[in-house]
Amino acid sequence: MATTSFSPSAAVRAPSASSFGRHLDFSRRIRLRLTRPPAPAARWGARRHVAPFRLAARRLSVRCGALVQIDQSEFPAEVLGSDIPVLVEFVADWCGPCRLISSVVEWASQEYKGRLKVVKIDHDANPKLITEYKVYGLPTLILFKNGQEVPESRREGAITKVKLKEYLDNFLEPTSVV
């Protein structure tokens, strides 16, 4: 009867190149990785510092077709002095929900052209307007008619196209009592 002996060192030893092939020699790969430092661009820290600049440059190219982006100096003339109702959207570049609804607000500016003016106000660049109109959440939509904020027209957070249409139709359509 043949007996086999078990050697713990044989079980732990990495496979040799002759028995499993050169591409399976894991111990050699690990040694190479440890002795050769990674290239500067491949380090985590280098990548982390480059990415925010690239993203910031992309955010600056805001698409505003029929929308008008104004600041606090233009606010009295564009919003308070307007003959037609004005939808004011308070946004920020860093706000995810603001970017999410930008296409919906763009659609509304095209859909209600002539009946409604849509303006965007940057939250970070206009602190006076933010405190004056008590904008606490972003994005915030406020409807103005005849230079006054329409009561109960304030809307905070993301909104779908259907909900925005209902919201605008509710405030823009004249209600008559028969």
**What are the catalytic residues?**
95, 98
- What are the backbone dihedrals phi and psi of residue 130, each rounded to the nearest 5 degrees, phi first? -65, -45
What gap in Å lies between CA 122 and CA 106, rounded to an integer? 16
For strands 148-149 and 86-91, give the pairing: unpaired
- Bridge-partner residues for 142, per DSSP? 88
Contact in structure between 142 and 168 (CB atoms under 8 Å)? no
Annotate 85-142 with DSSP letters as a single string.
-EEEEEE-TT-HHHHHHHHHHHHHHHHTTTT-EEEEEETTT-HHHHHHTT--SSSEEE
168, 108 Cβ separation under 8 angstroms: yes
